[in-house]
Structure 1
């Protein structure tokens, strides 16, 4: 734990930026050319398509990338529902070694609040879940940030697919994004943990033997003293934490296999938040 926290504390962000990265809305009909052009000017990209889903026949799907407040304001005045939402955090650095260090910490120590499959990676981008209804996260550290153009950047985004997932994020309309609390969102969702091996070993033995021992079990062998609980915890962690998609031992894989408990120690990531 101390090693991961020390690495985290050594990172010195240059800038931290939160924003809406992408938005998918369903409309009862097409926007006028004037409306669409205004949204295009007030965003990085905007396009509308006929929705091919039979359940929404006749409706229009509007995709907007990095909308500015003016675009969100005009969209909030139109009848719509939101079926897709990406909120993002860019952490840029002056030191080019820091983004990959943060990305490595993310892969090994990020734990999400629900599980459907193990975290994987594709072309340098880390994915914490499948592309299906719900919420999952993606992260990478090999591209410039999308707003200021800083070369050395760690990017993480939360992807919400489906109206239910978007609603759970506290968003029911484009207008809600004008007052969306990005800092509170990332404080709740950028969760990095370590496993306290001593507490894990003690927790495991207490559960197995139905005891409530609070002190570490220390044994002697000649002049040597060793912590039995820590040794047991180390074996448990290694047996339950391997992620074959990342080829790493990760806390998230351990939680999926073994479960949660008082042995999970949260890392202090406040220096990453705006």
Structure 2
């Protein structure tokens, strides 16, 4: 099977050359109308001659080849869209990671982006399966066209001695070629649908990415604003606390100074009283009454004895 796929261009060229040799007028011009190959041919229709059988088989062969090429293009586009969807999911996740792990876990936008990425991957798988099926249909078409070519060669060698039998066989293989070409067309349409799915998934991922980035930007702005407000509040609280501290210190110092002044005044009064009690006056007024009477008596006795002695 792999060898047939590798040799496909060579086989197509070989069949084209053979058909041109067998039917130079009509078949060699069929390549210009390959886009309308099987639309006017019913798979159940029976060719009336070998020329018609070859004409149908040849057109079916080129139709199948075109459908495979188209399916391949769809799959290439699908893969590009899927890659884009994966990148958009990553961008959405990176935007939300700035807000923390909880934002990544709870974000609906990121969930949508991941879902879109999964849808794109599934669509790529569908597209690749459709492309592979189209290739198988093309190979079957090539095989059928090759068999028709062999019947034509045999018919030419036998010089139309068994044309009816060979025509029946050629018609059978032609029908197979047409049928497989239509299958290739159907698979190509599946590939196109899958490519459309990946495109829609990429668009969905883009919308989710944009939403996630908007959410992240808005949340970041709110967080920055809250941080600024919190910093202003803390600065205001520090100023109030500092002012309260200074007021408390000033109050304590004021009370301490007042108490110290009172203590100094009491000390001065106490010292003055002590000095007044212990310092006698010249006239004796400063001597206490309890000591003043004995002294007076002593003075009187001394005076009396002095008088007697005189």
Larger Rg over CA atoms: 2
Higher normalized helix content (fraction of residues): 2
Structure 2 length-normalised TM = 0.21
Higher normalized strand content (fraction of residues): 1
Structure 1 length-normalised TM = 0.23
